[in-house]
Structure 1
Amino acid sequence: MRSVTAKQIKHVFLLLWIGISSTAFAQSDRTILQQAQALSQLHPDSALKLLKELQAQAGTENKPTAASILQLMGQICFNQGHYAQALEFYLHADKLFTQTGNKDMQAGNLGKMGVLYYYNKEVNKAQSLFKKSLSLYQQTRNIKGQAEILGEIGHLFEKRQLYDSAFHYQQQALIHYNQIHDQQGVAKIYENLGSIYEDLAKYDSAYTCFNQAKTLYNQGHNTIASIEVINNIGDVLRKTEHYAESVQQSRQAYALASKTHNLYQLAAASRDLGKSYQLLKQMDSAYHYLELSRKYSLEIYSKEGLNQTAFLQVLYDINKKSEEIIQLNAHRRTNRIITASAITIVVLLVIIAIIIFSRQRLKIKDQRMLAEQNQSIYQAQHELMQLELKNKQLEEESLKQQLDLKSRELSTHTLNLIKNNQLLEDMRNTLQEMVKDDKRDQKKQMQQIIHQINQGFNHEQHWKEFTSAFEQVHQQFFKNLKQHSTDLTSTDMRLIALLKVNMDSKDIAGLLGISLDSLRVARYRLRKKLNLEQGDNLSTFIQSL
C-alpha cells in the first residue's frame, strides 16, 4: 500500500479549490490520479469525492483523462464491494476509451471488468472479457499487459479446478514477465503456481514456488505481498506436519504485519499460529493466537462497517448531486424559472435533511445491533473454548488413571515374580538339605523335584506378563534403549527392566535365578554393551531413558 502524506492530499485538494483549467489538468493528471489512487487505499470516500471533482474539471474535452478517472472510480467501488456501481463506471470508461482509440487503456479496463464479473460469479462473461483484453494487448504488443491477463485467465481456470489449463496460462504469463524482466510480476506468477500446486497437494513444488515468490518480493521491497507468501509457506509446512517450521514462518508474517499495521494479515497470521500450536498440542498458545485472530477480525469488521457507511454516504451524495445537476439544467432549459428553482432546492434540502436524520438513526441502530451480535459471537466462542479445554482436562485425567492402573499391574506382576521365585528358592534349599541325608531311596526323586524347581525359576509366562505391563507403563523405553546398543540379549533386557523399576540387587538375583556375584558380573557386562564411561552409574543411566 502506498503511503499518502498530508502534504500530498492537501496539494490535490488545493488544485480543486483554485479551479485548474483543462490544459493544466492534462499536464498534471497522471500525478493527481496517482495521488487519488493512493488516497483511496486509506480513505475511499474522500478519494471518490476527489475523483468526482476531477471528472467535472476534465469535462468532455479531455476524454482520456475522464475515462481514467471513471476507471479509478469503478476500481474504488469494486474494492468496496459495490459491483453494480463499479460496472457502471467501467462501462462509461470503456465507451470513452473506445472513442479515443487507446487500445492499451481499453484492454486494461476490460481486464478489470473481467475480474468484476469473476467475483460476481459470472465466469463465462469474465473469460470472454479476458480474451478481448488479451487480443487488444497482442495488437499493441504490450507484453506486460498480456502477462497480467494471462495470469488472470490462469487464476480463473484454477478456481474452476481445470488445473492443466491453469498451469498453461500461468506458464505463459511467466514467460512474458521474464521477457520484460518484471520481477514483481514473476513473483506474482510463482505465487499463483504455488497456489495451484497446493490445491493439488503437491506440497514440495508449492513450497519451492512460494519461496521463489518470497525472494523476489523481498528484492522489490514489497512487504505486503511478502506477508501473504510467508503465510502460504506456513500453510504448506503445517500441511506437511512440519509444525515448528510453520510456527516460525507464521511468526515472521505476524511481525511484518504488525510493522505495517495490516489488520488482515495480522488476523491471518494469528489464525495460522493458532492452528499450528493446536497441532503441537500447545493449547494455551493456540487459544491465545486464535483469540487474537478473532479480535483482529472483529476490528476489521468494525472498521469496514464504518468505512462502508461513510462510502455509501459519499456515493449517495454523488448520485444525489448528479440528480440535482440534471434538475438544474432542466430548469435552465425552461427559461431559468427562479421561483421553481428555489422551491426545488428547498424541497431537496428538506428531503436530504430527513434522509440524513433517518440514516443517522439507522446507523446508530445498526451499530447497536452489530455490537450485540459481536458480543454474542464472543460469548459463544468463549464458551466453546472453555468446553474444549474441559474435554482436554478430562482426557488427561483419564490417561493418568490408566497409567496409575498399569503401574499397579506392573508392581503386582513384579511382586508375584518375587514371591514365586522366593518360594521356589526356599523349597530348593530344603530339598538340597534332604538330599544330603543318607537315605538313598529318596535322592533320585528329590533331585528330579529340584530340577523341576530350577526350570520354574524363569517361567516364561510370568516374564511375558511382566514385559507386557512394563511396556504399557514405559512405552518408548525399549526403543530408546536400542539406540544405545543392538547387542542386548533377552536376559539383558530383563535385567534392565528390573533396574528401571528400582528393584534391589537381592530381589533381582532371586528373579533371575542367579547369585549376587553372578548379578555383579551381568551388570559389568551390561555396562560394556551400553558403552558407559567409567564412573557413570548404570541405574542412573537406565532411569534417564
Structure 2
Amino acid sequence: MLCTSQYAQERDLDFNNDNLNKQPIESLIELKKIYAQSIDRGDVFLEGKCLQEMGKVCYRQGHFRQALDFFLKADKIFNSNDKPLWLAANLSDVGVLYYYIKQPEKAMKNYRQALKIYKKQNNLKGQAIVYGHIGQLYEKRQTYDSAFFYQKLALEINKKTNDISSAAKIYENLGSIYEDLEKFDFANNYFKKSLDLYQRDRNELGSIEVINNLGDILRKTGKYKESIAKTQLAMQLAGKLGNSYQLASCCRDLGKAYELLNQMDSAYHYVKLGYKYTLDLYSEDGAKQVAFLQVLYDINKKTDEIAKLQNDKKINRIIASSATVVVALLVALGFVIFSRQRYKLKDQQTLAEQKQIKHDLTSLELKNLQLEEQNLKQQLEIRSRELSTHTLNLIKNNQFLESLRNTLHVMVKDDKRDQKKQMSQILAEINQSFNHELNWKEFTQAFEQVHQTFLENLKMSSNELTSADMRLITLLKMNLNSTDIATLLGISTDSLRVSRYRLRKKLNLAQGDNLSAFIQSL
C-alpha cells in the first residue's frame, strides 16, 4: 500500500497529464473515484485538489454555479492547510470563471489575490498566467493600452520560464487585440507566432483556432482566395478531430469569403453545411450534457452520504459513551431502587425512540428538500445555457442571411434573365429560414423560464408596454449591444434609438436615468 504522500504525488501526475486529455464525463468519473479514496484515506490536500479539478471540468462544460461551489470548497482546504501555490492557482481559476460570467470586478479581485501570492512565492510561471488573464480582462473592456501592458508583461516573464503553452496563448491574445484595433499586419504576425508554438506543443485545438484567425485576417484585408485556403486547412484539421463546433465555425467563415467573391452557390453551400454541423453539435452536446449531469448528481449524492456517515459515526460514539455511564449508574443503584429504576429506564427508552424517529423523519425531509433544490438549480443552469445559445444563434443566422438576401436581391434585379429564376428560388429558401415569429416564441419561452421575477417586477413599473416594447426589454436584459439588438428586431440603429426613447417615456424614467441600468435592476 502506498503512503499518503506517495499516493498524492501519483494522483497529481494524473491531474497534470492524463486527466486533461479525457472526455468531461470520463474525467469526472475518474475524479469521483479519487475524491472518495482521498476521504477514506483522510488525505485532505488530495481532497482539495480533486475539488479544484472537478471545478475545472464543470467550468469547461458551462456549469458555472457547480464549478464555483467546487472551487470555493477547494479554496477553504488550501487556505486552512497552508498550500499557497495551490490556493493561488485556485484563485486564478475562480477569476477566469467570473470573467466568463461577466463579473469583471470579482474576476479582478481574485486575479490580484492570486498575483500577490505568486509574487510572495517568487513563482514566475503563475505570475505570467495571471498577467495574461488581467490583460484579457482589459481587452474585453476595450482598454487596449492596459491590455497591451499586461500581455507584454506576461510575455516578458514567460521568456524566463520557457513555458510554450502559456507563450502561445499570450501571442494569440496579442493578435486578438491588434485585430480589434484593425492593425492586421501586427495581428497576422502574432497569430503566426502563436501557431508555431501551438504546433510545437502539439495543441491541435489551439492550432485550429489560430489558423481560423489567420483566415479572418486574410478575408478582412481583401485576400479572399488565400483566406479560403487557410480556412479550409482549419476545417480539414477540425474534421480529423471530429470537432463539430470548429467545423461549424469554419463553414461560416467560408460562406462569408465566397459571398465576398460573389460566388453565391458556394456561399449558400457552406451556410447550409454549417447549419448541419450546428445541429449535430447541439444533438451531440445534449446527450453528453445529460450524462454529465447524471455523474455530477451522483457525486453530490455520494458527498452527502459520506457526510451523513461521518455524522452517524460521531453520534454512535457519543451514544456508546453515554450508555456506559448509564450502565455503571444502574449497577451502583440497582440494589436500592431496582423497581423504580426499571420503570424510569423504560420511559427513557420510549422517549429516546420517539426522538430518534422524529430525527430520522426530519433528516429524510431535509434530504428531499436538498435534492429538489439541486434539481431546480440544474434545470435553471440548463435553461440559461439554452437561452444564451439560442440568442447567439439568432444573431449570427439573421446577420448572415440578411447580408446574403440583400446580395441576391441585387442579382435578381439584374437584366441577366438566365439566372433570375435560380436566384428567386434561393431567395424563397432564405426567406423561409428566417421564421421570426417561431424564433421569437421559443426565445420568449426560454427567457420567461429563466427571468420569472423580472417580468413580474416589470409589470408593476408600467401597464402600457406593447409586445414590441417587451421584445426590446428582454434583449436589453440579455446585455446585448445596440447592433445585435437592431439585427434581432429587424430595424435600423436610428429606429432603435427612437424605440428606446419611447420606452423611457412609458417607464417614466427621469432625464439622465440610464435605461439599461434600470432594466438590470428589476
TM-score between the two structures when normalised by the length of structure 2: 0.61
- The answer to whether the 8 A contact 1:187-1:216 is kept is yes
Which of the residues 278, 282, 287 maps onto 1:297?
278
| 1:395 has 2:411 as partner | yes
Shift in CA distance, 323/242, structure 1 to aligned 2, threshold 3 Å: same
| 1:276 has 2:257 as partner | yes
Q: What does 1:50-69 correspond to in 2, within 5 Å?
A: 50-59=30-39, 61-69=42-50
Match for residue 207 of structure 1?
A: 188
| 1:153 has 2:169 as partner | no
| Secondary structure of 2:414 counterpart | helix
Match for residue 445 of structure 2?
A: none
The one-character-per-residue Cα deviations of 1:340-376 (angstroms, maximum 9, x if unpaired) are: 69x98xx89x989x99xx99xx9xxx9xxx9xx99xx
- CA-atom RMSD, angstroms? 3.8
Match for residue 512 of structure 1?
A: none
Identity %: 41
Shift in CA distance, 391/177, structure 1 to aligned 2, threshold 3 Å: closer
Shift in CA distance, 33/385, structure 1 to aligned 2, threshold 3 Å: closer
Match for residue 25 of structure 1?
A: 7
| Secondary structure of 1:193 counterpart | helix
Match for residue 510 of structure 2?
A: none
- The answer to whether the 8 A contact 1:194-1:208 is kept is yes
Match for residue 85 of structure 2?
A: 104
- The answer to whether the 8 A contact 1:270-1:290 is kept is yes
Separation in 2 of the partners of 1:388 and 1:153?
A: 38
Shift in CA distance, 28/394, structure 1 to aligned 2, threshold 3 Å: closer
| Secondary structure of 1:399 counterpart | coil
Q: What does 1:142-541 correspond to in 2, within 5 Å?
A: 142-331=123-312, 333=315, 392=408, 395-396=411-412, 398-400=414-416
Separation in 1 of the partners of 2:293 and 2:60?
A: 13
Shift of 1:68: 0.9
- The answer to whether the 8 A contact 1:191-1:213 is kept is yes
Separation in 1 of the partners of 2:154 and 2:405?
A: 49
Separation in 1 of the partners of 2:414 and 2:68?
A: 61
The gaps in structure 1 that reach 5 residues or longer are 1-18, 402-545
The letter of the residue matching 1:37 is N
Shift in CA distance, 301/142, structure 1 to aligned 2, threshold 3 Å: same
Shift in CA distance, 96/226, structure 1 to aligned 2, threshold 3 Å: same
Shift of 1:26: 2.7
| 1:128 has 2:144 as partner | no
| Secondary structure of 1:201 counterpart | coil
| 1:72 has 2:53 as partner | yes
Separation in 1 of the partners of 2:212 and 2:159?
A: 25
- The count of aligned residue pairs is 363
Which of the residues 103, 110, 117 maps onto 2:98?
117
| Secondary structure of 1:101 counterpart | coil
Shift in CA distance, 300/139, structure 1 to aligned 2, threshold 3 Å: same
| 1:49 has 2:33 as partner | no
The one-character-per-residue Cα deviations of 1:40-93 (angstroms, maximum 9, x if unpaired) are: x41x23432332332221127423212111100111111122222211111111
- The answer to whether the 8 A contact 1:20-1:57 is kept is no
Shift of 1:122: 1.3
Separation in 2 of the partners of 1:297 and 1:236?
A: 24
| Secondary structure of 1:49 counterpart | helix
Separation in 2 of the partners of 1:98 and 1:386?
A: 54
Separation in 1 of the partners of 2:407 and 2:160?
A: 58
Separation in 1 of the partners of 2:17 and 2:160?
A: 30
The letter of the residue matching 1:28 is E
Shift of 1:400: 3.1
Please say which structure displays the higher CA radius of gyration.
1
Separation in 2 of the partners of 1:396 and 1:307?
A: 45
- The answer to whether the 8 A contact 2:259-2:404 is kept is no
- The answer to whether the 8 A contact 1:22-1:57 is kept is no
| Secondary structure of 1:302 counterpart | helix
The one-character-per-residue Cα deviations of 1:125-156 (angstroms, maximum 9, x if unpaired) are: 11111111111111111111111101000000
Shift in CA distance, 30/391, structure 1 to aligned 2, threshold 3 Å: closer
| Secondary structure of 1:317 counterpart | helix
The letter of the residue matching 2:102 is K
| 1:38 has 2:38 as partner | no
Shift in CA distance, 170/394, structure 1 to aligned 2, threshold 3 Å: closer
The one-character-per-residue Cα deviations of 1:287-313 (angstroms, maximum 9, x if unpaired) are: 111112111111111222222222222
The letter of the residue matching 2:103 is E
Separation in 2 of the partners of 1:141 and 1:71?
A: 22
Match for residue 481 of structure 1?
A: none
The letter of the residue matching 1:296 is Y
Higher mean displacement: 51-60 or 139-148:
51-60
Shift of 1:316: 2.2
- The answer to whether the 8 A contact 1:137-1:145 is kept is yes
The letter of the residue matching 1:50 is E
TM-score between the two structures when normalised by the length of structure 1: 0.59
Match for residue 87 of structure 1?
A: 68
Shift of 1:232: 0.5
- The answer to whether the 8 A contact 1:21-1:57 is kept is no
Higher mean displacement: 158-167 or 113-122:
113-122
Shift of 1:100: 2.7
Match for residue 457 of structure 1?
A: none
The one-character-per-residue Cα deviations of 1:111-130 (angstroms, maximum 9, x if unpaired) are: 00111111121111111111
Match for residue 518 of structure 2?
A: none
Shift in CA distance, 388/137, structure 1 to aligned 2, threshold 3 Å: closer
- The answer to whether the 8 A contact 1:118-1:126 is kept is yes
The letter of the residue matching 1:226 is S
The letter of the residue matching 2:264 is M
Shift in CA distance, 318/340, structure 1 to aligned 2, threshold 3 Å: farther
Shift in CA distance, 392/83, structure 1 to aligned 2, threshold 3 Å: closer
The letter of the residue matching 2:10 is S
The one-character-per-residue Cα deviations of 1:486-516 (angstroms, maximum 9, x if unpaired) are: xxxxxxxxxxxxxxxxxxxxxxxxxxxxxxx
